[in-house]
């Protein structure tokens, strides 16, 4: 009976979320209502709720989560510093003589912005505002243009330093320790955010290569869809120096943040603080920093961070009540009984996460779903780093998939009126196929995610 109450609670959350009510309050409110109902029916132990203060104290003392507001600040500040604008202009001129050159430039800038900011919405909106009008003006096919922008914008999900990987790393670490304790291992191994960052590097770069390969092949086979300019702007003296100067700031920032984490010189939190200060200096040197900009960036950072932590608190309460109704035991039973063993269990979880990605943001999925299914999958012997990268790639694919993908909504909000929603949907389909292909490759060759962390931290 208790486990069925857990399922009803999960279903109630899903239904209420469709109404558009804030996620954090849906999670906590639904959990409290079902807890009260369980107390009345004598199917819920109130002692589970007494653990909530300890959960909140644990969140407050979690040093890894301090990286979240710092990375958000860095991303918002870089957006205001117009780094993407100067990068796109330089890259566009560099590839101007090629069919599909602007598409390649957008992909590279999207990759660099993803590695600099880690914020998907900001990257998609920024690239949509800057590059889509230019691509259409040069005669690019609207569908392919929209697909390139959406796909390159979602690279912030997988290319470190990614906020997704920071949050996922913290949750996977807890789930991994829980799985080992459940197996009777009382000196559990740990997995860090740095492990996930290192594990995501090769799959992330491979995804960028596959994107660029698709653009190049399409431009070669159908040059009318991705034309080069009728007259290429002559590269004046000092052009390559200007390209270098445009590339240097984001590359230096990426090297400082990512290199210090992977090199073991700094924790993600310390590296995030370096990134935040570096973003301020870049904005200052570019003349984009003033009191108003600093106020806007700080306000946006506070809003985004508050949203993340409110969801985290709501998810903590939901998780406690879910366990109080023995929902975790039901999940273990369901996944263990699936045909195909751990492969069948993993496929089922990935499919559910993919579908939930249509209606939930990565934060809710990370804080609500992963703590429930993570310990079960990890207890089956699945590598935690590989699992984390698979989840991140899966959610990135979900955010691209029509009709509910979040990236599509972001671009629709800033796209010109002549670009139809159908064209946006059509344009992302090849990139969804590419992502599914990479998921298959990563499933068959898990070493793509596990080799680098093992090599670095051995």
pLDDT tens for residues 207-233?
999 999 999 999 999 888 888 776 555
Q: Domain for residue 8, yes or no? A: yes
Q: Domain for residue 235, yes or no? A: no
pLDDT at position 214, please? Answer: 95
Q: How far apart are the first and last CA of the chain?
A: 47
Cβ pair 342, 381 in contact under 8 A: yes
Q: In this structure, what is the dihedral angle of CA atoms 262, 267, 271, 272, given to the nearest 10 degrees?
A: 120
**Which segments of the chain have a pLDDT < 50?**
none
Kindly state the helix (H) or strand (E) to which residue 433 belongs, with its residue range.
Answer: helix 421-444
d(Cα 134, Cα 328) in Å, to the nearest integer?
A: 51
Q: Domain for residue 150, yes or no? A: yes
Query: What single-letter DSSP state applies at residue 182?
Result: H
pLDDT at position 146, please? Answer: 92
Burial bucket for residue 287 (CB in 10 Å: 0-12, 13-18, 19+):
exposed
d(Cα 357, Cα 412) in Å, to the nearest integer?
A: 18
pLDDT at position 232, please? Answer: 54
Q: Domain for residue 446, yes or no? A: yes
d(Cα 420, Cα 279) in Å, to the nearest integer?
A: 36
Q: Domain for residue 424, yes or no? A: yes
CA neighbor of 354 nearest in space, from 374, 338, 369, 371: 369
| Cα–Cα–Cα angle for 173, 174, 178, rounded to 5 degrees | 120
Q: Domain for residue 233, yes or no? A: no
In three state form, how does the secondary structure of the chain look? CHHHHHHHHHHHHHHHHCCCCCHHHHHHHHHHHHHHHHHHCCCCCHHHHHHHHHHHHHHHCCHHHHHHHHHHHHHHHHHHCCHHHHHHHHHHHHCCCCCCHHHHHHHHHHHHHHHHHCCHHHHHHHHHHHHHHHHHHCCCCHHHHHHHHHHHHHHHHCCCCCHHHHHHHHHHHHHHHHHHHHCCCCCCCCCCHHHHHHHHHHHHHHHHHHHHHHHHHHHHHCCCCCCCCCCCCCCCCCHHHHHHHHHHHHHHHHHHHHHHHHCCCCCHHHHHHHHHHHHHHHHHHCCCCCHHHHHHHHHHHHHHHHHHHHHHHHHHHHHHHHHHCCHHHHHHHHHHCCCCHHHHHHHHHHHHHHHHCCCCCHHHHHHHHHHHHHHHHHHCCCCHHHHHHHHHHHHHHHHHCCCCCHHHHHHHHHCCCCCCHHHHHHHHHHHHHHHHHHHHHHHHCCHHHHHHHHHHHC
**For tokens 């570096």, what's the residue?**
278
Q: Domain for residue 234, yes or no? A: no
d(Cα 309, Cα 362) in Å, to the nearest integer?
A: 13
pLDDT at position 442, please? Answer: 95
Paired tokens of 25? 């309050």
CA neighbor of 154 nearest in space, from 211, 114, 210: 114
**For tokens 């052009």, what's the residue?**
239
Split into its structural domains, the chain has a count of 1
Cβ atoms within 10 Å, residue 372: 21
d(Cα 271, Cα 301) in Å, to the nearest integer?
A: 17
Residues in the chain: 458
* Residue 310 Cα to chain centre, angstroms: 18
pLDDT at position 234, please? Answer: 54
pLDDT at position 447, please? Answer: 93
Could you tell me the residue range of the domain that residue 408 belongs to?
2-12+23-228+240-457
Query: What single-letter DSSP state applies at residue 50?
Result: G
d(Cα 283, Cα 287) in Å, to the nearest integer?
A: 6
Q: Domain for residue 195, yes or no? A: yes
- Measured N-to-C along each axis, helices 142-153 and 421-444 cross at an angle, to the nearest 10 degrees, of 50
């Amino acid at each position: 009976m208790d486990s069925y109450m857990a399922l009803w609670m999960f279903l109630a959350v899903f239904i209420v979320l469709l109404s558009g009510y804030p996620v954090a309050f849906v999670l906590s409110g639904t959990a409290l209502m079902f807890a009260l109902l369980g107390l009345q029916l004598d199917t819920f132990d109130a002692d589970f709720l007494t653990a909530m203060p300890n959960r909140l104290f644990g969140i407050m003392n979690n040093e890894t989560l301090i990286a979240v507001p710092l990375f958000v600040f860095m991303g918002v500040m870089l957006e205001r510093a117009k780094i993407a604008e100067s990068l796109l202009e330089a890259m566009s001129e560099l590839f101007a003589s090629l069919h599909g050159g602007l598409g390649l430039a957008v992909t590279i800038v999207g990759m660099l912005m993803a590695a600099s900011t880690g914020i998907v919405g900001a990257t998609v909106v920024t690239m949509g505002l800057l590059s889509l009008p230019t691509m259409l003006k040069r005669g690019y096919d609207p569908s392919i243009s929209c697909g390139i922008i959406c796909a390159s914008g979602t690279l912030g999900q997988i290319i470190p330093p990614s906020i997704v990987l920071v949050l996922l790393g913290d949750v996977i670490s807890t789930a991994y320790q829980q799985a080992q304790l459940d197996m009777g291992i009382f000196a559990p191994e740990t997995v860090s955010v740095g492990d996930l960052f290192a594990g995501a590097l090769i799959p992330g770069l491979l995804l960028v290569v596959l994107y660029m390969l698709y653009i190049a092949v399409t431009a070669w086979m159908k040059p009318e869809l991705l034309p080069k300019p009728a007259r290429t702007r002559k590269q004046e003296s000092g052009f390559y120096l200007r390209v270098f100067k445009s590339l240097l700031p984001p590359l230096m920032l990426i090297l400082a943040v990512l290199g210090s984490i992977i090199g073991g010189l700094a924790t993600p939190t310390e590296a995030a603080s370096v990134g935040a200060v570096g973003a301020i200096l870049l904005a200052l040197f570019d003349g984009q920093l003033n009191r108003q900009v600093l106020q806007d960036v700080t306000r946006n950072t506070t809003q985004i961070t508050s949203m993340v932590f409110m969801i985290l608190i709501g998810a903590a309460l939901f998780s406690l009540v879910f366990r109080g109704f023995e929902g975790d035991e039901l999940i273990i039973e369901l996944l263990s009984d699936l045909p195909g063993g751990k492969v069948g269990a993993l496929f089922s979880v990935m499919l559910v996460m993919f579908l939930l990605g249509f209606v939930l943001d990565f934060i809710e999925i990370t804080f609500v779903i992963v703590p429930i299914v993570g310990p079960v999958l990890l207890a089956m012997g699945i590598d935690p780093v590989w699992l984390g990268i698979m989840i991140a790639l899966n959610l990135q694919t979900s955010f691209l998939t029509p009709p509910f993908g979040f990236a599509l909504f972001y671009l629709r909000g800033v796209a010109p009126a002549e670009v139809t929603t159908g064209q946006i949907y059509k344009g992302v389909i090849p990139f969804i196929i590419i992502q599914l292909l990479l998921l298959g490759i990563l499933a068959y060759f898990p070493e793509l995610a596990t080799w680098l962390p093992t090599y670095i931290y051995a």
